[in-house]
Structures are given as C-alpha cells and as structure tokens.
Structure 1
C-alpha cells in the first residue's frame, strides 16, 4: 500500500513546456492543455479523485487532438495514478504503460522517470512481482541521477529499499536505506517520514534489535496519525503487525491488524472514491470509443481498398504486359549487343593486325630512311670532298659558277638528307636537349653570316635587334636553337626579294635563373594566305609554288615546330599576302655564372700541338679513300690506306699507328668485326668509325666492338682532327655516349 507516494512524481515542471502557444481551431492552446494536466495532478494530490479523473480525461482528449506526445503521456500518468489510488492496479498498469509509450516518443526523461517509478511501485508492492518491479525502479533512479535531483533520488531509493525488504533481501536494500537516512531530512518531505520510520523499523526487526524496531514503527504511526496520511498509516499498521507476529506478540499483532482493516475499509467506502470510479468508467468508455473509431476507420479503409482492388488488378495486368514487352525488348537488345560485340571483336582483331602492320611499316620506314641516307651520304662524301679539293688546289676555279653550283647542289642534297633524318629522330623521341654555354649575340651573328649568300641572291638585307637586358652567356641546347633560327631565317630570305629580314630578341621575364626570351623573325616578302597558315607546319607541305618555284623539302617548319615542343614552347605566325610574315616564339634559357664557368672549364679543347701522327685509313670505296687521304695529308699526317678489314689487321700486326679510321660497311669483313679482332689481339690503338650511317644507329654495336668514337660522313675536317687529338691525348679512352 504505497499509493500516495506516487503523487510526488505526478507534479510536472511548469517551465519546460509553457513557451509553446500554438493553437488549433476548436482546441485550446498547448499552454491551456498543460494547465489542465497540472490541475488534474494537483487534484490527485488532494485526493479529489473524481475531479482529477474528469480533468485528466479532458486534458487527454485535447492532447490527443493536438498530437502532443508529452501531454498525452502526462495525462495517462495521472489517470494511472488515480486508478492506483482506487486500488484498480491492473487498470493503473494499463494506463501507465500507455503513458510510457508516448513518453518514449516525446523523449522526455522527466515523464519517463515518473512512469517507471509508478510501475515499479505497483509491481513490487501491489502485484508482489519484484522481478518485474525492481528494474522499473532502477530505470527511474537512472533518470533521477542523470538530472541530479537529490529529492527524487531520495524518494526512489526509499522505494528500492522497501522492495528489497519486502522480499527479505535486507542486505541489498540496506545501502539504499542508508542513503535515505542521510539525506531525507535535507531533501525529503514530511509525508515521507512515515515510510522512512517504517523501513527503519523493518530493518531493526530483521537484525533483532526489537526495542529500536518498536520505536521506529510507533514513530511512523504517530506521524501518520498527525499528517492524516491514511494510506501510509495503514501500511505502517500492516508492517508493524507483521513484525509483532514474527516476535510472537500475537495479541498486539492482532490489534494492529484490526486497525489496518478498519482504516482500509474507511478509505474504500468514501464517497469520493465511489464517484471517482464512475468517472474512471467514463475514461474507459472514451478508450473503447477511440478503439471503435479506429476499427471503423480501418473497416472504411478496407472497403475503400477493396473498391480500388479492381483498378489495382487492371493496373497490375497492364504493368505485367509492359514488363513482358520490356523483357522481350531486352532480349532483342541482348541479341543485338551480342552481334555487335562479335563484330567489335572481329574489328579489334583487324585493328591489332593493322597496328602490327603499322609498327612494321614504321620500322621499315626507319630502316629505309637509314639505308637511303647511308647510300646517299657515301657518294656525297666523295662529291663534297672532291669539290673542296678542286677549290683548294685550283684557286683560279674559286669563282667558277659550275664548280660553285656543284658544291651548292651537293650541300643542298646533304641538307635534304639531314632534314629527313632530323624529322625521323624527333618523331621517334630520340632527341634529348643538352646544356651548353653560348653567347646568343655571337650565335645569331654566325647564323646570319652563314645565310648571307641567300640574302645576296635575292638582294635582301638582314638586321639584328637584340635586347640589352639579355645576359651575355646563356645555357641551353644551342645546336637545336641554331637549327630553329637557320630554318626560319633561310625561309624568310627565300620568300623575300629586294626586302628586309629582321631578327628580334627581347627579354620578356625572368624566374630565378630562367630568362624567357621572345624571338621574332620578320620579313617583307610574299606573305602567306590565312587559309594556308595552318598547313605550313605539315611535313612536305609548301605553299605559293604556283607563282614561283622555291627550293626546299617542306620539312623546315615542321622541324622548327617539333624542336620548339622539346623546349616547351610554341610558334605563332602573323602574315598577310604581299606584306610579309612574322614568326614568334619564346624559349626559356638558363643564365647562371657559376654553372657557365663549370661548363666552360669542362669543355674539350683542341690539344693539337703540331705533332705528326700516323693514320691507318680502312675503306673499300676508292673515292672516299682518296678524299680522306687528302684531308689527312693536308694536316701533314702520315697516312696508310687499305681497302678491307683483313688488310687492316695484317698492317696492325706488323706496324703501329696512332689512330685507325675504319669504315663500317665493307665486304668480307665489316668494320665491327675487324675492330673486335684488333681488340682481341691486345692492340689498344684508338679506332674511329667513319660511316655514312646515323650515329645513334650504330653506337651500341660500335661500343661492343671496341671502337672509340664515330664520325658521320660527310664531315668537316676540323671535327676529324679534334677527335683524333682528343683520343690520342686521352690514352684511347672508350667511346663517350
């Protein structure tokens, strides 16, 4: 009998939810509904069960209409507490559990705490199901400890202590009782003193301190009589009677049991409780009405669903037909894709074959270019060499137009071969830029001077305009840079008559040691039509030949474009027919004095001291042998000529030479084979390959054969002598890749 102790948990915090003032038409505001719910709680506390029931019923009606889970839970909690006070414990449990459902939806710890506490009390003290009840009380204690409300903690722990005492587990309940004894005077209520003294009496009786037990029980009865707390007083009568019965004071035990029965009878027979039960019946009727309404709504919904079922069936059949049609379409698509995939597989196989053929064709092209260049370079070496010999030996022929034409034609043919090889190298990514120190002013002057004969032929003047801000020495690949300028300036001179070609160089920005220089090649020639400006960078393409026949391979500008790509640059053109053309590009060169000095110090110099060397020439081509011999003897070197690799080996067995000039492509025994045999004999004489093959094509085989360097024919004589001197003075070091 612990009904009135639930009243403390029914009070609600007014400040938590009073800020919401939303109203629905025909329904009071939330603030007003909360006021009704609080009024119902107060009436319950005053034991005015009839009015408390009626007010809770009205608050529940409005809360359900407003769909406010917190207010619904609060109303159900108050209704459950009323039923608990009327000893309708099953109904109380029913409404408490309904309230707990809505409290969980509201996620409000306060109302969940109250309902858990009330359920715990009913299960423990009325239904005597402590196994179910104590977990509810422990859950309530968790909420109290979370909110740090000591008053509620004292209250809940007294209930837990009583629950354990009720099942004779005094040792488990003792810690809770100790806590309540310690804090009850500060945080408890006067009405709680009845139960607190009763619990202390129960514990003292358990430990057989009967005198203290009597004092506590009598104190509880005294306070209950003063405060007119009928329910807690009746409980104290009952527990004291049980205690007296245990100590075999049967007369006194019977006396207090009679008092308990009389008090309970008075409470149950009061008019308030009877009227309250009638109001409770109305609340139950409301619940039944709500259930009936729900069932009616469900039936109506089922009827509507049945009414729509025919439409649904028809729609289902339509959807099924659409799905079947889609499946058929998917199947057709599958067959189509299967056929397409098969076609693609066959096409891929054909593409693979085509790719292999293209690779093979590319290799054949490279091989063809290499072979053609070799076959052309060999006779050209003789033509250029003999022409130079004639000009040197017969000074009177220096101005001969026929001999000059022969020399020009030979050099033109050599330039054509070099262009073809150059574009082939670039396309195969076999060019790597080098870092060399050069004076840009000297480099441009040298290029302009070497092309001046073209300018004279067309009566052109060449101007150079250099920015003074450009450093004296730059670091970069001067050979590739020279190729770019030579192609652009020679083109400008060829397509200009009686005009001017200007070379501009301007520093536009610097970033650290990088100097970005903008170059412009401007002419006053025939110009290029706008439609043709995109074509001029294509290989073997020439424009404007309908009017005048300009010599050239059509490779100059494509080479320029690809070389600039290696520099990370691009070229632009600005041209109008009859007004001339301007080609513009920018290259970033380094300028670092320390690095420049290092490069200059590491440069190879001509170590020739005028010493006479003995040279062995090995070549099967009589004309080439004659040209090479003349070049060697002009330097006053001693020279021995043999026409095969075998003869060279015999000569080296019987005589010593300072250097061997070895042709590669010879019958019976080529230069590689001869060099291997020479090295196997322990002969360390430097061997220089004189060949018409491109250097990159034979360098690996030359290294493995023991050769020291390679010179490609035709060559300038100073290159040959520089190489000879370097090898002799460096003790025949191996070929430097």
Structure 2
C-alpha cells in the first residue's frame, strides 16, 4: 500500500536523523547506547519490509525495553509504531490502533513534530482505509497537516492531502475532496515524487468520471496505468486498474472492465502472500470478478441455459411420474400406520410434558440453590467483614491484648467461618462449570515450599515435621494454573497435618513422563497418622463428610477433599488413596504441566508489576452498615489517606457534585438506591472519578452489571488492605494515563 511504503521510508529517515542527533553515551547496566538501540530499531523495520513479522515484533519489543530503561520517549514512540505497523500488515487493525495510540502518547512528550505528524497520518490510514471510520480518520489527517504546516513541509502536505482526497473519493464525496486534489495538482510537480504520481493521475480520473467527463477520465486512467507499468509502484498500478475497471463498468464496457479487473487480481496475487490474501477484501474482489465474468459471457451462455432448462424440465417430468407411482404404493402403507403413529404420538406428548415439568422443577431447584448460596454468601460476608476488621483494629490499638486467648479465638473463629463460606462457594462454582484453568509460569518447588511455610503453625501444634522431595529432573518453570494446584496440595497437606500427631508428612514430586511439551508430574502426600478405615475410604471425597473427627477440635468443613477431587477433574486427572488404620495415609495424583521456555519468558514479561504509591488520596466511602463504615475508615486512614463517609446513594451524588475525590468505594446492597443506580447517576453528571465496588457479593455474580453501570473494578469483602490499595493505585494511574 502507498501509505505503508511511505511509512518505511519515513521511519528510516527519522531513525537516521535520531542517530546523528544523539551523542555517544556510556552503557549503563548492560543497556545499549542510543546509537545501538537505533540500529536495533532499523533491523526491526528491515524485518518488517521483508514481511518477517515475528522477528520484527520481537526486535521491536527489545527496542521498547531498552528505550523504557533509558526513558527515551522518542525511541519508545518509534518501537510502538513498528509494532503497530506489523499488526496493521497482519490485519489486526484494532491492535494496531492501540499501539499507534501508545506511540502517539509518547511522541507527544517529545519536541519532535515529524514523529507526531507521521503517527497521526498512520492512524488516518487505518481508520479510513481499513476501519472505514472516515470522520475519525480525516481528523487524524488534519492533525498531521497541522504539523506539516508548522514545519513548512510541503512535500508531506502533498502526500497527506492526496490521502484525504482518496478517502473522500472512496465515499463518493467528490466535492469535498476536490480542493485537496487541486492542491496536489498545483504543488506535486515541484514537491511530489514518482511514488505518488500514479495515484495522482488515478484520482484525477476518478474525479473526472464523477463529473461525467469520460474522455478526460479515460485519459487520466490510461496515463496512471502507463506510469505504473513503467515504475515500481505495482500496488498503485493495481488500484489504477481497479478504478479504471469500475469506470468502464459504469460505461457498459464489460469486456474491458473485466480485463482490467483480471489484471488487478493478478498484480494483487503477485504482491501478497497467502496470509495477507485472507483479508476480507480479496473475497469481495473475487466475487466482483465473477459478476463481470457473468456479464461478459451472458449472451454466449443464454442459449446453453435455455437448452439445459428444457432438458431439466423433461427430467423433472419423468421424475415426477416415478415419484407419483412410489407415492401411490406408499399411500396404502401410510394409511395403515396412521392409527398406530397417532397413538404413539399421544404417548410421546404425555411423556414430553412430564419431562418438561421435571426439567422446569430441576432448573427451578438449581436456581434456588444458586440464589440461596449467593444470598447466604452476602449475608455472612457482611458481618464477617466487621468482625475480622474490628478484631484487627483491637490488636492494632491494644497491643496488651495481642496474647489474649479470647481475642485469638474470636479471630480464628471468624476466619474459620470465612473459610467455610469460601469452600461452599468454591464447590458451587465447580459444579456449575464456572471455573476455567489459567496458564501462568511457576516453579513447583517454590509453590510447595510456600505451602509448607504457610502450614507451619498447624505442623508445630501437632509436633509434626514436613519433608519436601522434588525431582531434580522437573524443569525450573512450568506453565499451568498454579492457584488451583496450590489449593489441591494445601488441602491435602493440611488434612494430613490435622490427623497426624508427633509424626511426619512427606510431599513428593516426581517427573514420570514427557510427551512433546507436556511434563507429567506425580505428586504424593504421605503421613504416618491415624489412617482411614477401608469402609470410609469410598465416601471421604463426598461433600460435608468428615472421618475421624474429635468432638473438641476443628477438623474443617468436610469440603476440602471434595474440592480436591473436583479440581483434579479440571486438570483431567484423578486421585488415588492408600491407607491403613494406625499406619498412615497416602494420596497420589498426576498432573500434566506444559514446559515451553519461549512461552514462559513471554508470560513472565507480561506480568504487571504493581508499584505501591505513597501518595495521599481523598477517598469517598458509600456504605450503609455502620460497623463496616468504621472498619473501612480505619483501613483507609491507617494508610494515610483521607476518608469521607455517606450512608446512601443520594448523599453520595450530592457530595461528589460539590467535592472532588480521587476514588469512590461503593457498596452494592444499600437501601433507597443501590450501588449500580448510584454509579449510573454519577456517570450521567459527567464525573469520571474511578468507582470501585466494595461488596459482599461474589465477584462473578455482579461483574457484568457493575461494568455496564460504569464501575471500574470490584473487591469482595472481607479483603486484605494491601489488595484494596493495589486496586486503588491501579485505577487512579489508569485515569491519569487517559487524561494525559
């Protein structure tokens, strides 16, 4: 495309200019100098010209890393634009626009008007020629013209106005495009070049054709084709044949229209590889080519069609007679079967009605179950948030109570109840197939060691030793859902520690098989505790079943092993149990994790690093529960932020209309007006303050409505203060980037 070739030429010029303008610098911490980074950027564009998109994108990412390390906004803008150009060529237009905008964001931080000019021109190309959003695309072209006029760059002005004229002509707004074409005709002889002369003649041909000046239009089109044939701009030559074909078709010259369209198709096939031919426009061209073929061959085919139609009519008559005979033979049989079928249908209708009623009852029961779990979750989480929060406040404010057995029991009981609620929700999600495994890079040994450390309190209480044995053949990093894996191991190890006194719990991980990129790891959790009777082994994986429980201790909810078995099903695995009463228990299972070094590096590079901010924020809390107000206010003020509290949505709307806040924490279930409606009314006032739902509802139950109402994020009560402020920082930073 004309725009893409100019993109490559201009970028080479910009990079060359940048190399000459920057002084030689020392390499700091293995980061190359600016001159070396520019060389790498040149290589990325070279790969792009060769259509080696994979290497071009990989090299551009390297440039982006180096440029970010030395905080060079110009080079950051260059790297983003190269990435966007690759995506543009691969027809990933939405992604290309995203990276062009990122490049423009950093370009605007520099004093280099050339790069700003160029990125705006590229965005105009994508929106006009690919997304067909002409108004938005022309806006970018006009911004590009502003920079061209500021730099007195008539050559760039000719190029940009040529694009604008082409856009208007594409949408048949020739009067609007006329002034841009006249400008190009006037200044092109002096400031234009051979790369645009073909398009200039083609556009003149299109304009004359719109004014029914057929003779002049024909002359311009022929001249464009002659110049394109002699020159190197073969893509522009193909467009000239295409537009000439449309012109000839309009005049009724189907034969020449068809011939020009064939030439266009031939040039396109030569220029683009199979990957690019997947674009939708090629299908449209082929369809149009077929239409022209039908017009050209219409007269020759007409007689053949008539003859074929007559032949088909005779065949139809013969077939009709044969079918009629068959129908007469079947009629007697159908009549005999009619009564039998009528009786059968009556029975089926009754059976279907019964099945429908049973299905409705089952669906109703499932809905009631889901609603019950959701309601109970909300009703339990709300007071638990207050209990846990106030317990932590007491421990913070009264250090003398730190060793109080009563306060410790209260805290333990609250967390135990929260664990029960979470287990019930977890098992409910699994049964409703609402859990999808994620792919993250992680280290098996690190995860198991972290689980061991987190359960050290239980181990010490029962005077147990935890031993970890990890096969050295297991790769350092594997890919899989480490959260669900850790949950499985933690439940099994916790169970082993509870039922073992003065003993040993051994966690073993062995590599047992490798198939392609899949590494099959066998895990064993073995203890020498009380063991499980044979009669109980078949039922311990059922919900709410507990075996070997003493009356005076906490042995869990009875959901741990049920969750383990169901999570292993998601991993396409199963669990095996070996146990003898008085000798101990061993659980064994195998999970296949992926090992891919390149993918691992990509996953690690894509991890977002959260940098906590020490800035003091002004936060509004919309909450009707007085206890929760106290707890939330204490958490916010403890982190050196100011806090305002209102009881309902009406007060919130009134306050945000008068005062400016950095973030709003919004409860959902409030009287008078709920959190969703309150958020909608705040957004209707044009207030863009980040709003975070602070709720006891499960996140997946309210996500869709929260987003549609205008909320930015959700955090579920009870929560860790660190998690709350990570979300607050993230939302405030996102808003700042949008403003800039």
Structure 2-normalised TM-score?
0.52
Where does residue 575 of structure 1 map in the other structure?
579
1:600 aligns with 2:604: yes
| Structure 1 counterpart SS, 2:591 | strand
1:521 aligns with 2:522: no
Instruction: Compare 505-514 and 367-376 and name the one that shifted more.
Output: 505-514
Correspondence 1:378-527 to 2 at 5 A: 378-527=382-531
Among 681, 693, 702, the residue aligned to 2:685: 681
Question: Alpha-carbon deviation of 1:550?
Answer: 5.3
The CA distance in 1 between the partners of 2:352 and 2:644, in whole Å, is 61
The CA distance in 2 between the partners of 1:719 and 1:609, in whole Å, is 13
Correspondence 1:250-261 to 2 at 5 A: none
| Structure 2 counterpart SS, 1:605 | coil
Native 8 Å contact 1:607 1:729 kept in 2: no
Where does residue 536 of structure 1 map in the other structure?
540
Q: Deviations over 1:89-120 (max 9, x none)?
A: xxxxxxxxxxxxxxxxxxxxxxxxxxxxxxxx
Question: Alpha-carbon deviation of 1:450?
Answer: 1.6
Question: Alpha-carbon deviation of 1:612?
Answer: 1.1
Q: Deviations over 1:390-444 (max 9, x none)?
A: 1122222222111111111111100100010001101111101111122222221
The CA distance in 2 between the partners of 1:642 and 1:722, in whole Å, is 23
1:552 aligns with 2:556: yes
- Say if 1:638 and 1:505 are closer, same or farther in 2 by CA, change over 3 A: same
The CA distance in 2 between the partners of 1:575 and 1:339, in whole Å, is 58
Question: Alpha-carbon deviation of 1:711?
Answer: 0.3
1:708 aligns with 2:712: yes
- Say if 1:370 and 1:411 are closer, same or farther in 2 by CA, change over 3 A: same
Q: Deviations over 1:315-356 (max 9, x none)?
A: xxxxxxxxxxxxxxxx9xx99999998777545533321221
For structure 1, list consecutive stretches of 5 or more residues without a partner in the other structure.
Answer: 1-330
The CA distance in 1 between the partners of 2:583 and 2:433, in whole Å, is 37
Where does residue 720 of structure 1 map in the other structure?
724
| Structure 2 counterpart SS, 1:731 | helix
The CA distance in 1 between the partners of 2:344 and 2:685, in whole Å, is 67
Correspondence 1:296-335 to 2 at 5 A: none
The CA distance in 2 between the partners of 1:722 and 1:383, in whole Å, is 23
- Say if 1:546 and 1:638 are closer, same or farther in 2 by CA, change over 3 A: closer
The CA distance in 2 between the partners of 1:605 and 1:615, in whole Å, is 24
- Say if 1:648 and 1:486 are closer, same or farther in 2 by CA, change over 3 A: same
Q: Deviations over 1:46-98 (max 9, x none)?
A: xxxxxxxxxxxxxxxxxxxxxxxxxxxxxxxxxxxxxxxxxxxxxxxxxxxxx
1:629 aligns with 2:636: no
RMSD of the TM alignment (CA)? 2.4
Q: Deviations over 1:154-188 (max 9, x none)?
A: xxxxxxxxxxxxxxxxxxxxxxxxxxxxxxxxxxx
The CA distance in 1 between the partners of 2:485 and 2:550, in whole Å, is 32
| Structure 2 counterpart SS, 1:544 | coil
Among 592, 595, 609, the residue aligned to 1:591: 595
- Say if 1:529 and 1:550 are closer, same or farther in 2 by CA, change over 3 A: farther
- Count residues in correspondence: 403
Native 8 Å contact 2:613 2:729 kept in 1: no
| Structure 2 counterpart SS, 1:657 | coil
The CA distance in 2 between the partners of 1:358 and 1:391, in whole Å, is 48
Question: Alpha-carbon deviation of 1:727?
Answer: 0.9
Native 8 Å contact 1:570 1:586 kept in 2: yes
Where does residue 671 of structure 2 map in the other structure?
667
Structure 1-normalised TM-score?
0.52
